[in-house]
A and B are shown apart, each in its own frame.
Chain A
Amino acid sequence: MAANPEFMNEATVSFNLDGESVTAYPGETILQTAQRLGKEIPHLCYKEGLRPDGNCRACVVEIEGERTLAPSCCRMPTEGMTIQTQSERAVKSQKMVLELLKSDMPQQGKSPYKRDSELDIWADKLDVGTPRFPSRKQPESDLSHPAIAVNLDACIQCTRCVRACREEQMNDVIGYANRGAHSEIVFDMGDPMGASSCVACGECVQACPTGALMPAGGVGLEVPEKTVDSTCPYCGVGCLIRYHVKDNKILYTEGRDGDTNHFRMCVKGRYGFNYIHNPLRLTKPLIRREGVAKTTELLDPNDLDKVFREASWEEALEFAANGLKNIRDNKGKKALAGLGSAKGSNEEAYLFQKLVRTGFGSNNVDHCTRLCHASSVVALLECLGSGAVSNPVEDVKKAEVIIIIGSNPTVNHPVAATFMKNAAANGTKIILIDPNRTAIAKYATHVLQFRPDTDVALLNGIMHVILDENLQNDDYIAKHTEDFEALRIHLKQYSPEKVAPICGIDPDTIREVARLYATSKASMILWGMGVSQHIHGTDNARCLISLALMTGQIGRPGTGLHPLRGQNNVQGASDVGLIPMVYPDYEPVDNPDYQKKYEQLWKTTLDPERGLTTVEMLHAILNGEVFGMYIEGENPAMSDPNQNHAREALAKLEHLVVQDIFLTETAGFADVILPASAFYEKTGTFSNTDRRVQMGRQAVTPPGDAKQDLWIIQEIAKRLGCDWNYSGPKDVFNEMRQAMSSIAGMTWERLEQEDSLTYPLEKEGDPGQPIIFTDGFPTASGRGKFVPAPYIHADEMPDDEFPWIFITGRQLEHWHTGSMTRHSPTLDAIEPDPVVTVHPDDLEKMGVKAGELITIESRRGKISAYARADLGIQPGCLFMAFCYNEASANLITNEALDPAAKIPEFKFCAVKTQPGGQLPPRIN
């Protein structure tokens, strides 16, 4: 909190409350003042965090000199006002309101849906007895949604759900329809919730005072044994969440306050936890039966027993470690590789990379950042000397202009998207640059639906206008940057007129956007995989960096560069060195100074050469260079491009150790499978997209014989000759602090206390720095560097035979390869089938009706999926998530790599389509 908040300068208000002279702080309502002073006034439609609406009238008070009573939740006291909250007249109305509402509750009694209905609590406190009025005709239940039960017979029409849905999350699904006594809460147009546009963020459930909206299945009535404050296992936003636990099961969740999410959550975080209770969880170590050959086919879980046998931990660990050791000792250190996980904690990631570097003896360690923001990080390191975001997401509210490019935040960072929408509602201009018109477009002032693959041309065009119209920030350029001249010359050839036909955006729009961005008081850029997953992903990011540098839109609140991180700990996993070219804190492995530093810290010798990246590892297997792998919590058999090739590589491995919570597609290729822990089953720290290191706490124990990952990694390491003895995550964290100056001042104890700390935090007691680059950059020269990016095409352009553009990404309910979310009965029920989104005009041309199967084929593979019509998709493009093993999008994708970052081109390849097709059965 700031030392001198703005409101401290405003005047307080003195007034008389129930005969006492009291003082209201600036901005405080009568109700808030009374609450602060420990007075109780009944209230139902008022909820902290939501706009007060004053509709229920339970909180009415008597103000001297006023004809009627006033709602204390909405009224500001004025100087000298005399207010009675408990006069006979006020209490009469308060009680009558409660009685009227209670008369329309089921059986005129307590809410049957919620243990602590606020109406029941207040009715009890004010001694409201059996209602004297007849009941209304009650509406029927709506149980059409897998996650949320709607029982409007308990609805008191306080509209908290409406405000939560429309004003807080801004999903705009819930309405208050009809009029008078017919008024009712509706979804869309009175639709069943399950058939509505509801995204199941659950904010309405969290807001509902009476249980009219509750988690499905009646879990709200159960009494939890304990609550655990932790975070979320899904995206990089890293929402703070409270888990309610009973019988070693998570019952339900609740958003917590904090800058990360302010109580908000999305469908995955709120309802998607139940994958951990899926009976398909791995609970015993498994060893491949002798003589069972590996094929490129995915393993059908029904055949599990034919392929694997159960083993004791001791046997499995020995088997796993010996296999690795034999290869290391016989074929060389570089014959091994490790894939760690951005789903694991910082501590797990740190130990995993340390294991590879010290136990395997090479830098052949990587994780899914390679498939995600590798190009962004490469460009940021190259130009700014740091791969992290410059400003937190919450800075959108301080920005005048936000560019959202190549990111679908309502789907992939839903809670962050709510802050963007809130900003737009407050007047911030959103410029959406994306080949698809995604949901956030509704809040954008400018939507640039440009041709896929033409980012560099468009961004160069925007920068051309800035220079052409002399809108650049010369002072900033002179003071904080270098190599500007090269960029200036480079940009000359990118006039709007020249790039317009390339990217399909008219020159005037390009000019307008350039002016808006350059001249606003604070402009911020947020981007996602649409920028990074191209063979020119690094160039795309370089352009964004140049744009911010040339306008000086960086280093201040509401400005900067924010690559929205995908995984909950992709930031942390990268920070702690789970990548082949750097040690923790991005210290290059090929720099002898750093090599020496880590050799001293880890008491061993280290390989001075960079290791292999994810896709390179698979190539190396096929080239006979890598023979053994340890894959912890990753699923390359689904996530890597050109899967036939990837699966061929996995099948060729001599020894594959897979550590996971389910029999993933990758696990089927393993020689030994180690049953591991899910997020909720362990404690550790996780670094979110804002550089906040947050405490994830164990809520339940792993099922069966499954073990925590930190233990498993350590057991493997010991068997590879590492002399490790970490008693838990705290020990590991303390070692990380020694290695990493960025978190040197962060103590485990403070993390336990505050739950969320932002780095850089170099000295103990520092507040942390949400905004970096405030005065230059951590580069050798201290300056940000302009790197011109020429426009190039995707690796595989559409042609007569393969005329369509195929783009992959994610869906709201499904996480990456689906290993978590498709095992969550709730999320799976909301999005059960593989769909490919197509523009309705294209469907008509194909002669296909929406909802029918179509077949998509590239030079690499062929799949079939249901055609979902969507006006937001660009004609000529197909979009698909890569989570469906029965229609795996990565069978289609192209493994061509960005030369600098080695990230594959998931966002563009050429395909052909035909109506119809066969959908093979899904493999669980």
Chain B
Amino acid sequence: MLIVGKAYNLEEIRVAVIKISPEQIKTKKRRGPKGHAVDLSALEDVRNLLGDESRQRDLLIEHLHKIQDHYHHISAKHLVALAHEMNLSPAEVYEVASFYHHFDVVPEGQAAPPELTVRVCESLSCSMAGAEDLIQSLEDGLDGKVRVQRVPCVGRCQHAPVAVVGQNPVDQATCNSVIETVQKKAVTAPVSDYISIEQYKADQGYQTLKKLMEGQISEESIIKKMEDSGLRGLGGAGFPAGRKWRIVKGFKGPRLMAVNIDEGEPGTFKDRHYLERDPHRFLEGMLIAALTVGCDEIYIYLRDEYAGCRQILQRELAALAANPPTDKYRLPPIHLRRGAGAYICGEESAMVESIEGKRGMPRLRPPFLAEVGLFGRPTLEHNMESVYWVRDIVEKGPDWFSSHGRNGRKGLRSFSVSGRVKKPGVHLAPAGITVKELIDEYCGGMLDGHSFYGYFPGGASGGILPASMGDIPLDFDTLNPHGCFIGSAAVIIFSDQDKARNLALNAMKFFEEESCGQCTPCRVGTAKAAELMQQKNWNQSLLEELSSVMVDASICGLGQAAPNPLRCVIKYFPEELK
């Protein structure tokens, strides 16, 4: 039996109530206390998997992964046993497990999914590259032992379309290449060639960190350099990094640091790009930030889709611990935490919730994470790339960074470019470059047979602009007047063979699936918007009214930005709606 798109099948999930007769309930009551009895053999399974690891609450997602990895699903009895083992209620564990797409919770009496899952990305770039045809052909071509799942962006957009067999990504996937990979049972993620700790150190790596640890550089001088560089947070929100450091340092410790590598914005893959090449540059920057600000412990949150990066980090964190920059001072503890398939966890407060082992539900602010963050402590939260540049800024000086730039803007940006261009990929380019310059100078121009029609300047949430507006400098703030933003600098180029309204619908469905479900404007708003957008004639005034409320009243950036593509279609592509 082939199960298609299970995790995305609304009908199956919604009506969760299992049928049970009064007589069955009565018998059940004779057997055990209310609710689910702990199955002793399942408890033993769980205890074996967890070993002597701590049962503390924040490790819940980590422990769920152990069960999922081992059994390829999480049965009700294992879930109950895990709850028992962690002194949690089944409801607490279930709501967390069911929140994340990468956990397959199988209720009592229901069949487990096949052991192997092929995840096919259906987000913007992959969709343009024929994901739908691929899914159709895989559904026809694979036998029943494999589940084909539609999934949101897996962060490999330059290789679209992408399928992931188990944890093994198949780039430019075809039905044949995927089936071949399945048949070879090649299900683990390959690990890229990257700069090892030895090479990194040979290139003067970790010297700055060493100096900082040994007191040869002052914390203040580093913060000053960060401020002077003008570096802004590269996760999307663009908060000035130096100022953030100063603010967090101003709150009374103990402080924590959380690094966001939940790179889930469709079209974005720059963090993966750097991690796969130079992980220690990131680690050094992260440690400089933590020590400068005075954070006692560091949590790295890595999206689960980046299985290859996970291996790199596991390996290199161990290497770093074994070979620290200096023996005189101890490095702060670094915890590597694994996401579980939830775009929302890229939102900083949702990520913090997820690190605490909970559902990734964004927090209301104030208070801000800088004051009340992870485990209630002042927290320095950074995107991975933001700290990746720290070493260079400290060593080469703030001017090195700010000297770059074009069209009156300053700094460097790592553009993740995908879509209808000849050379998609991560392009480090001056901030303020226009999309047309980017296509021409960095991407080798449009694909043959395609002419430039429009672009997403900042992933699915940053809005859509037509080719006629291709001369706007791409940077923080420059796009705001046009109802767009650069976000994580994920530029998706589409052509005359694409329809903006279809891409906007793709984006809205993505937001609907990825909304955490907490606030009404986002949870209900994205669903209603997606429905209205599937009608032939858009009810533009209602969509606009809904959009403005989503922007105004949603808790977090997801709901606030979700209407951007839709509004841009109404504004810039009116002919498509006629």
Does chain A have a CB within 8 A of B142? no
Please name the residue on chain B nearest to A94 by beta carbon. Answer: B553
At the interface, yes or no: A792 with Cβ under 8 Å from chain B? no
Beta-carbon nearest neighbor of A96 in chain B: B549
A236 at interface, CB cutoff 8 A: no
Interface mask (A92-124 → B, CB under 8 Å = 1, otherwise 0): 110011001101100000000000000000000
Given contacts A74-B364, A189-B94, contact A55 B518 (CB under 8 A): yes
Given contacts A89-B552, A177-B98, contact A189 B105 (CB under 8 A): yes
Chain B residue nearest in CB terms to A57: B553
Which of A96, A180, A869 has the largest count of B CB atoms less than 10 A from its CB? A180
Say yes or no: A180-B94 contact (C-beta < 8 A), given A56-B519, A134-B528.
no
Q: Is the pair B364, A139 in contact by a Cβ cutoff of 8 Å?
A: no
Point out which of A71, A182, A868 has the most chain B C-beta atoms below 10 A from its C-beta.
A182
CA of A136 to CA of B10, assembled, Å: 10
Q: Is the CB of B30 within 8 A of A179?
A: no
Q: State in angstroms the CA–CA spacing of A521 and B213 once bound together.
A: 41
- In the complex the two chains form, what is the Cα distance from A831 to B512 in whole Å? 42
Does B252 sit at the interface, judged by CB under 8 A?
no
Report which of B31, B89, B99, B359 forms a contact with A868, defined as CB distance below 8 A.
Answer: B31
CA distance A49 to B452 in the complex (A): 57
Question: Once the chains bind, are A137 and B10 in contact (CB under 8 Å)?
Answer: yes
* CB-based contact B91/A54 at 8 Å: no
Bound complex: CA A191 to CA B95 (Å): 12
Let me know if A194 is at the binding interface, CB within 8 A: yes
Residue of A nearest to B38 (CB): A871
Q: Could you tell me the distance between the alpha carbons of A835 and B32 in the complex, rounded to whole angstroms?
A: 9
A197 near B515 with CB under 8 A, answer: no
Q: How far is the CB of A352 from chain B (nearest CB, A)?
A: 38
CA distance A68 to B561 in the complex (A): 12
Q: Which residues in B have their C-beta under 8 angstroms from that of A735?
A: none
Chain B window 524-548, contacts with chain A (Cβ cutoff 8 Å), 1 for yes, 0 for no: 1111100110000001001001101
With known contacts A93-B521, A178-B99, A191–B18 Cβ distance under 8 A: yes
Known: A97-B553, A103-B528, A134-B528. A142 touches B17 (CB 8 A): yes
A139-B14, A190-B107 known; A195 and B524 CB under 8 Å?
no
CA gap between A139 and B10 in the complex, in Å: 11
A179 and B16 CA atoms in complex are apart in Å by 13
A840 contacts the other chain (CB 8 A): yes
In chain A, residues 663-705, which have Cβ atoms closer than 8 Å to a Cβ of chain B? none
CB neighbours (8 Å) of B24 from chain A are 195
A851 contacts B by Cβ under 8 Å: yes
Bound Cα distance A144, B548 (Å) = 42
Which of A167-175, A427-435, A548-556, A752-760 faces chain B? A167-175
Decide if B552 touches A181 in the complex (CB within 8 Å). Answer: no
| CB atoms of B98 and A195 under 8 A apart | no
Shortest distance from the beta carbon of A157 to any chain B beta carbon, whole Å: 7
- CB closest chain-B residue, reference A89: B552
Query: Is B532's CB under 8 angstroms from A851's CB?
Result: no
Q: Across the interface, which residues of A come within 8 angstroms of B37, CB to CB?
A: 850, 869
In the assembled complex, B337 has its CB within 8 A of some CB on chain A = no
**Could you say which of A68, A835, A868, A872 contacts B551, with CB atoms under 8 Å apart?**
A68
Q: Please, what's the 1-or-0 string for A166-209, where 1 marks a CB less than 8 Å from any CB in chain B?
A: 10000011111111111110111111101111110000000000
Which among A89, A101, A190, A831 is the interface contact of B17 at CB below 8 angstroms?
A190
Quick check: B553 and A181 within 8 Å, CB to CB?
no
Contact, CB under 8 Å: B516 / A178: no
User: Contact between B16 and A173 (Cβ–Cβ < 8 Å)?
Assistant: no
The answer to whether A832 and B26 have CB atoms under 8 Å apart is yes
Judge whether B35 and A181 touch: CB under 8 Å. Answer: no
A442 within 8 A of B: yes
* A residues in contact with B99, CB < 8 Å: 177-179
Write the nearest CB–CB distance from B528 to chain A, whole angstroms.
4
Instruction: Given A134-B528, A177-B95, A178-B99, answer yes or no on A57-B548 (Cβ-Cβ < 8 Å).
Output: no
Q: A54 contacts which of B38, B527, B552, B555 (Cβ < 8 Å)? A: B555
| Cα–Cα, bound, A840→B44 (Å) | 14
Which residues of chain A are near B548, meaning CB under 8 Å? 92
How far is A500 from B16 in the complex, measured between Cα atoms in Å?
A: 49
Question: B520 near A: Cβ within 8 Å?
Answer: yes
Interface membership of A870, Cβ < 8 A: yes
Decide if the interface of chain A is mainly helix, strand, loop or mixed.
loop
- Whole-angstrom distance between the alpha carbons of A892 and B125 in the complex? 75
Does B524 contact A868, Cβ atoms closer than 8 Å?
no
Using CB atoms, name the residue of chain A closest to B8: A182
Q: Are B30 and A868 in contact (CB under 8 A)?
A: yes
Chain B residue at minimal CB-CB distance from A852: B30
Asked if A133 CB lies within 8 Å of chain B CBs, one says: yes
List B contacts of A68 (CB < 8 A). Answer: 551-554, 560
CB atoms of B553 and A132 under 8 A apart: no
Give the residue among A178, A187, A198, A199 with the most B Cβ atoms within 10 A.
A178
Interface residues as binary, B506-523 with A (CB distance below 8 Å gives 1, 0 otherwise): 000000111111111101
Residues of A within 8 A of B90 (CB): 188-189, 197
Interface flags, B1-35, vs A, CB<8A=1, else 0: 00000000011011111111010111111111111
CB-based contact A195/B28 at 8 Å: yes
Residues of B within 8 A of A104 (CB): 524
Q: Is B36 an interface residue (CB 8 A)?
A: yes
Chain A 827-850, CB-CB to B under 8 Å as 1, else 0, gives: 000011101010010000000001
**Closest CB-CB distance, A315 to chain B, in whole Å?**
44
B16/A177 in contact, CB under 8 A: yes
Give the distance in Å from the alpha carbon of A174 to the alpha carbon of B92 in the complex: 8
Residues of B within 8 A of A89 (CB): 552
- Pair B532/A57 contact, Cβ less than 8 Å: no
- Contact of B32 with A180 in the complex, beta carbons under 8 Å: no
Q: How far is the CA of A55 from the CA of B517 in the complex (A)?
A: 9
The answer to whether A194 and B20 have CB atoms under 8 Å apart is yes
Are A140 and B17 in touch, CB under 8 angstroms? yes
Q: Name the interface residues of B427-445: CB closer than 8 Å to any CB of A.
A: none
The reply on A866 being an interface residue by CB < 8 A is yes
**How distant is the Cα of A739 from the Cα of B158 in the complex, in angstroms?**
91
Are the C-beta atoms of A133 and B545 separated by less than 8 Å? no
B30 near A851 (CB under 8 angstroms)?
A: yes
A192: chain B residues at CB < 8 Å are 17-20, 25
Contact of A188 among B36, B344, B513, B519 (CB under 8 A): B36
Chain A residues with CB below 8 A from B19, complex form: 192
**Complex formed: what's the CA distance from A832 to B13 in Å?**
33
> Cβ of A180 and Cβ of B523 under 8 Å apart?
yes
How far is it, in angstroms, between the C-alpha of A894 and the C-alpha of B525 when the chains are bound?
66
The chain A residue with its CB closest to the CB of B21 is A144
Q: Does residue B342 face the partner (Cβ distance < 8 Å to A)?
A: yes
Determine if B34 and A182 form an interchain contact, defined as CB atoms under 8 angstroms apart. Answer: no
Q: Is the CB of B10 within 8 A of A182?
A: yes
Chain B residues 457 to 515 lying within 8 A of chain A, measured CB to CB, are 512-515
Which chain A positions have C-beta within 8 A of B221? none
Residue-by-residue, is A53-77 near B (CB-CB < 8 Å gives 1, otherwise 0)?
0111110100000001101001000
A184 & B25 in contact (Cβ 8 Å cutoff):
no
Q: Is B79 an interface residue (CB 8 A)?
A: yes
B477 CB to closest chain A CB (Å) equals: 14
Q: By the criterion CB–CB under 8 Å, are B32 and A58 in contact?
A: no
Q: Judging by beta carbons under 8 Å apart, are A851 and B40 in contact?
A: no
Question: Which residues on A are within 8 Å of B, measured CB to CB?
Answer: 54-58, 60, 68-69, 71, 74, 89, 92-93, 96-97, 100-101, 103-104, 132-134, 136-137, 139-140, 142, 144, 156-157, 166, 172-184, 186-192, 194-199, 442, 831-833, 835, 837, 840, 850-851, 866, 868-872
**What 16 new A-B contacts, CB under 8 Å, besides A140-B17, A142-B17, A198-B35?**
A55-B518, A55-B555, A68-B554, A97-B520, A100-B524, A133-B528, A139-B17, A176-B517, A178-B13, A179-B98, A179-B515, A188-B35, A189-B76, A190-B16, A190-B98, A199-B34
Q: List 21 A-B contacts (CB under 8 A).
A: A54-B519, A55-B520, A68-B551, A71-B364, A93-B552, A93-B553, A97-B549, A172-B89, A173-B91, A175-B92, A175-B94, A178-B98, A180-B512, A181-B527, A184-B14, A186-B95, A188-B91, A190-B16, A192-B17, A192-B20, A851-B28
3 cross-chain pairs, A with B, having the tightest CB-CB distances, nearest first: A197-B35, A183-B517, A172-B89
